[in-house]
A and B are shown apart, each in its own frame.
Chain A
Amino acid sequence: MMAAAFRSEMRKMWKRPATWVTLGLFGFITFADLIGTYRNARTDPEDPFFLPDAWGEILGDEVMVGFIFASVLVILLVAAEFSWRTARQNVIDGLSKTQWYSAKVLLLPLLSALFLVLRVVVGGSFALAGTDLSGGTPLFGAPQLSALGGMFVTGLGYTSLALFASVAIRSSGPAMAVWFAWFAFAETLLVGGLGRLFESLRPALRWAPVMTFNRLRDYIQYDPEALRRAAEWAAQHDRPVPEPSSLGPAFAGSFAWIAALTLLGWLWYRRRDL
């Protein structure tokens, strides 16, 4: 039954214009972003763009734009089911509430991976075009794999927050507004306010959900060579030198938040009538 529920999700997602609009938009943004980098690299030898060094650029902050699109898509796919009352009808037709919710949870890794892969494929293609393949240097290795893993978990974090907003609010527009507000400023404001009120809470507040997820998005923390280059550049330009940080607690914290948000969403969804 779970397989059937997931197949249905795939069909709904595939046929939903919003899926192609968000993927298309992100693809276009990635293309526009990286074609500039690629052109620069061809004219300016000081600013090269080839693999494996280009992974830092490909897996940079722009990946998060993809996860924002993925989160928007999660909200559109999940919250709309309440507006259309198809969430109710699916249960009437024979899905248990657990199966319905589990099928939605499976969307999170799928969409996070989809947007990440799109960035990697578009960016990788540009970078590959400028790479000397006879050099013998591995184009993709353990640091990149770890970085992809970290980015993927960040995507899971963003989308689990979107799933929670969808089942709690049950309407696409308001859910999107709340998700975006939390993501963009509400968490920062709340953490700042609480930190001023309760000084002893400050260390714990730094582990608020979005802050925790964002600890995993810094590519140079996964790639010692990139970190060394970044440190050199910072020293030359009188900027703060990046320090290596342990990613273990960030992974653990992110997984804890993802589990908590998914579980909380499930409890919220199950408790209320459809």
Chain B
Amino acid sequence: MTNPPDAPIIQTFGLSKRYRKTTAVDDISFRVERGQVFGFLGPNGAGKTTTIGLLLGIITPTAGRFELFGGATAAELHAARGRTGATLKTPNFYPYLTGRDNLRIVANVKGRDWAEVEQALDLVGLGRRAKQKFKAYSLGMKQRLALAATMLGDPELIILDEPANGLDPEGMREIREIIRGLGQRGKTIFLSSHLLSEVERTCTHVAIIQNGRIVRQDSVADVTSHGVASLRSADLEALAAAVAEYPATRWSRQRGDRLVAELEDGDLAAVNAWLGGRGIHVSHLALEARSLEDVFMEATGAADVDDAAEPGGTSSSDGHRLGEIS
């Protein structure tokens, strides 16, 4: 198997999974490049775990296809999974075996030396509890054991599904540190989560999935810092009307003595020229940083709920109503 070295690590093409009447994953396409820490964000039941299951070969797609490390045939995907470490949602181990024995099973499957098991246990801080049975572990310890299993064999791609699920803040911080460390070592990480802060603090790129469809994907920096402009003018009403008509406006809203608007291209010079052409002179024009939570709420439509409580949002030219959480 000779896949191109610069091929995306993960690439999906219209991937879908339907269960009788339910569509769990609906025509999703995304790509993850080497070295990215890719956050896969979505509410519970959005289709995150199903998507990962499809990539890992434990769920068969009903439509579409995907490539791992540039390979798409059964043999290539099997080989690619040998370069991947993954854990799906809850840590899955043999309850009657110790942490060490469980990792030895994983090492056998991955064709790795048992010496690596001790290193992996130490890395996640379970070296001293390795003799304890898995069923006696706390949830945090189980999650850490799952991370250790994932890292066995030094995989190039690490797929983690809700790794901080059910953890206390301290446990979440520990997991975040481990993931960050892996990212710094140049690993490609695909991290599914519904915890916005976790993704914002950990990931370089993000895709937001809702009801089985990807509604937004970009680098975290781009989705949080680009596109939302803050504008002020003596005649705020005229400014609002003009901005609403501007072709690149996705949505706009008055906030205090200024107007905030998301621009598709984030091009402040262009919007300034457009407003100038209509005789509107702005006294303040700047891009605003947003939190990932803002982006998520807006992309998943959750902001509609808040819009109702805070009327005044305007619709963009294509009639797609979007809101903003402040």
Contact = CB atoms under 8 A, between A and B. Distances in A.
B108 A88 contact: no
B82 A88 contact: no
A11 B92 contact: no
Contacts of B110: 93-94
Nearest to B110: A94
Given A16-B96, A88-B88, A273-B60, A8 B101 contact: no
A102 interface: no
A91 B53 CA distance: 11
A159 B88 CA distance: 31
Interface in B56-98: 56-60, 78, 81-82, 86-88, 90, 92-97
A146 interface: no
A7 interface: yes
A197 interface: no
Nearest to A95: B109
B182 interface: no
A90 interface: yes
B87 A92 contact: yes
A93 B109 contact: yes
9 contacts: A8-B108, A12-B94, A15-B96, A86-B93, A89-B93, A91-B56, A92-B56, A92-B81, A93-B110
B93 A274 contact: no
Q: Is the interface of A mostly helix, strand, loop or mixed?
A: helix
Contact of A15 (B58, B81, B101): B101
A5 interface: yes
B263 interface: no
B175 interface: no
A15 B97 contact: yes
A85 interface: yes
B117 interface: no
Nearest to A274: B58
Interface in B18-63: 53, 56-60
Interface in A146-173: none
Contacts of A93: 106, 109-110, 149
Interface in B261-317: none
A40 interface: no
Interface of A: 1, 4-5, 7-8, 11-12, 15-17, 84-86, 88-96, 273-274
**Could you say which of A85, A89, A91 has the most chain B C-beta atoms within 10 Å of its C-beta?**
A89
Contact of A84 (B59, B82, B95): B95
Nearest to B105: A8
Contact of B78 (A7, A15, A96): A96
Contacts of B56: 91-92
Interface of B: 53, 56-60, 78, 81-82, 86-88, 90, 92-97, 101, 104-106, 108-111, 149
A236 to B, nearest CB: 54
A273 B53 contact: yes
A76 to B, nearest CB: 11
Nearest to A16: B96
Contact of A89 (B88, B95, B96): B88
A88 B109 contact: no
Nearest to A85: B92
B147 to A, nearest CB: 13
A273 B25 CA distance: 15
A88 B94 contact: no
Contacts of B82: 94
A91 B54 CA distance: 12
A86 B111 contact: no
A90 B81 CA distance: 12
Nearest to A91: B58
Contacts of A88: 58, 88, 92
Contact of B92 (A86, A94, A95): A86
Contacts of B95: 84
Contact of A11 (B58, B59, B87, B108): B108
A12 B96 CA distance: 9
Contacts of B94: 12, 15, 84, 86
Nearest to A15: B97
Nearest to A103: B109
Given A94-B82, A273-B53, A11 B93 contact: no
A107 to B, nearest CB: 15
A17 B96 CA distance: 8
A200 B87 CA distance: 55
